[in-house]
Chains A and B, each alone.
Chain A
Amino acid sequence: MRHGKYRFIIGFLAIPLALYGVLVISPFVQDFQISLTDWTGLTPDKHYIGFDNYRKIIHNHLFWQSLWHNILLLLIVPVVTLALGLFFAFMLNVGGRRKGSASVAGVRGSGAYKIIFFFPQVLSVAVIAILWQQIYNPDPEEGVLNVVLHGIGLGSQAQSWLGDPKLALACIMAVMVWANVGFYVVLFSAGMSSIPTEIYEASLLDGANRTTTFFRVTLPLLSDTVATGWVYMGIIAMDAFAYVQLMSVNNGGPNEKTDVVPLLLFKTAFRDNSQYGLAAAMGVAMLIVTLVFAVLTLRLSRRERIEF
């Protein structure tokens, strides 16, 4: 009996594990292997050069600056996105005025809002980036944002947005938040709908207002979903490649103020003399940072699960 059980389990696990090994583990191993070479990606020949590529990275100030931008993204984008996502989801599902017998309801028109919030999720990143490039166009007659600023009498606040070293990274962050918030509204809405209404009714009977309900009931019961969202958003923030590559001026500019590690990696591998080995080493560094982030997040957010 026991023997058969193992065969049963192995039979189920073999295929997924093999796929995981080929599609996930093996590229990691290869990446590490390539990072120890001077491979150009153009020939089958490569020479092992030990940890030279890693030494180069450590002395590359641009790498550290890019990593710092990634960390800024990591600190700001998930917090803002998840906070907005939570707020919107709460207003759409719980935050409305009570009407009739329903004790818990969203604000008026919440169905339509849900669709509107989710909309950017349907667009590809390239579309979003091009769209926002027009919005950020510094021209006072063509750039949507500057036109609006002029229209409401704030013409003096018009900026060159992506061309301004102080604003560029913030501009890109705003787009990342805009593009991702809709998904979390839907995710948190689903989470909230699984919270039993009795808990809300009980808290209402005790006289809890919207703010208290949110912080004392909704947020604690959603903590698992929030933690998962945090990891996802963290990974998006650690990447940010497509947003920066498509939107930033001069490929991570102005003056390298928006460069991120994945973009640096891309430029190293595909543009700057085809240094696949060095780029692979950057990939390994990114892997380590991402792993640390994921482990920390899951550790810190571990808590007792409430069954309902």
Chain B
Amino acid sequence: MGSEFNRRDAIKRAMAIGVVAIPSGSLLSACATSSGGDKNKPVATGTKSANNPLGVKNGAPLEAFVFKGGFGDDYIKAAESAYNTSYGVTVKHTGTQAIGPKLQPRFANNTPPDFMDNSGADNLDTAALAKEGKLLDLTPLLDAPTIDDPAKKVRDVLIAGTVEQGQFGSQQMYALNYAFTVYGSWYSNKLFQAKGWTYPKTFDEMIALGAKTKAAGIALFTYPGKYPYYVHFDLFAQIGKVGGKEVLNAIDDLEDGAFQVDAVKQVVGYYEELAAKKYFLAGSEGKTHIQMQTDWTKGKAALVADGSWVENEAAPTMPKDFDLAVGPLVGGGDSDKLPFGTLYAAAGEPFIVAANGKNPAGGMELLRIMLAKKQTDNFTNTIKSLTCVAGSAEGLTLTPGLASASAALKAAGPNVLNARIQDWYVKLNQETIGNLTAQLLTGQINAAKWIEGAQKASDATKKDSSVPKFKHL
């Protein structure tokens, strides 16, 4: 090395080159934010016929990109093989847990798969996708005849609430939620019979039961502090039971003063009383849902607010003779707008079809195949979950929890509630109000503070222009 040159100079010059390199870096910025634009892809369409009401083109490729979580993806593969036989192709299948991170770039580049199961913790915001016009309106599917009975339309065989669940503030249905989940207070029938307890019908009876379970050394309820919105499964639906659907819809629609009504005061007051009497298992506020379910299956708590998936999820710790059962919503009593037996149940596992995919008709056809009796039976038998097709569980041998859920759903008839705040305004429900609920159940705040905070949060969400708004139709 010559004397006129030293290491320090080299570093300085290298830095200068680095600075020069920055602008050229922006040229490379195309990778994350490519401005692909619509590339007018040819869309596969075929001739419509009685067997092919959606007009699927024979031999046109179809790509399915599905969530492979608690349900696995074998039930989708089963439907795909039926599709393969009918249309002479092999569906390109990808099953993954990380559905969102993998689909996001596909949507951003306008090259989405045709058929997706947008579920799981990492899913994409279905409402945002719908708002951006990325999803196909599934109305043609709803109006198409079913495979089992060409005289019936798909629309007519779905359980009430399924179509609404896939709508985001307009008549278009953008997602078909395939699995049907029944929510409520779950308990061990064996434990209740052994102790001579009966599932209560009113808040007062529930509190009386709490005294009995406490005397037996068992907490009345437990909940997962890690996910306090589990409590909302009961809480919001109870508001609907006490005050009627209008009260619940007002909350969903973020109406002014929606929380400052008697029904809310009564229900939240009930939770305040449960907390004050220490009827929640100590330490619940620091538990995961698995830890909560383990405590419950071990008999440390009598009841948990949960969904029908609990039978599968808690199976590893649930004793064989647990005799799982679900109780419908408890309420104020005869003054309630809706009778005892009213249930929170909702369709879940949203299947979507891309609006600008290569084979949208094929995506809808695959859904039509999944709604056929053969596929729903397979789903209910293997996954132990109900589907969104009415009466699809009839004639099948069901596990105790599923049988109880199926019976409760039948008994509820039209009195099925579904608080849409839970999927329309996820942050508001899970985090903001969820935090209030966590504090309510540990006695840090009272019902009045909860209502005040919930109303304030609802108003703030309403004012936030970045949050897309939805309304009941």
Contact = CB atoms under 8 A, between A and B. Distances in A.
Contact of A273 (B1, B36, B125): B125
A22 B25 contact: yes
A280 B14 CA distance: 29
Contacts of A140: 282-283
B287 interface: yes
Contact of A43 (B134, B434, B439): B134
26 contacts: A21-B28, A26-B26, A29-B25, A29-B29, A30-B29, A30-B32, A30-B33, A40-B132, A41-B108, A43-B132, A137-B286, A138-B283, A139-B283, A139-B291, A161-B286, A164-B286, A165-B444, A248-B226, A249-B225, A250-B434, A251-B430, A256-B435, A270-B100, A271-B125, A271-B426, A273-B466
B294 interface: yes
Interface in A157-184: 159-165
Interface string A225-247: 00000000000000000000000
Contacts of B1: 5
A271 B419 CA distance: 19
Interface string B21-47: 110111011011111110000000000
Interface string A25-37: 1110110011000
Contacts, number: 180
A119 B97 CA distance: 29
B431 interface: yes
Interface string A183-217: 00000000000000000000000000000000000
Please report whether the interface of chain A is mostly helix, strand, loop or mixed according to DSSP.
loop
Contacts of A26: 25-26, 28-29, 31
A57 B354 CA distance: 33
Interface in B321-377: none
B438 A249 contact: yes
A17 B15 CA distance: 9
A98 interface: no
Contacts of B396: none
A146 B291 CA distance: 14
Contacts of B107: 42-43
Contact of A250 (B108, B122, B228, B291): B228
Given A42-B104, A42-B107, A42-B128, A270 B17 contact: no
A44 B36 contact: yes
B427 interface: yes
B29 A17 contact: no
B286 A136 contact: yes
A1 interface: yes
A287 B423 CA distance: 33
Given A138-B282, A250-B227, A42 B129 contact: yes
Nearest to B29: A30
Interface string B114-128: 000000001011011
B18 A17 contact: yes
Interface string A138-166: 11101100100000000000011111110
A29 B26 contact: yes
A299 interface: no
B152 to A, nearest CB: 35
A282 to B, nearest CB: 14
Contact of B2 (A1, A17, A46, A256): A1
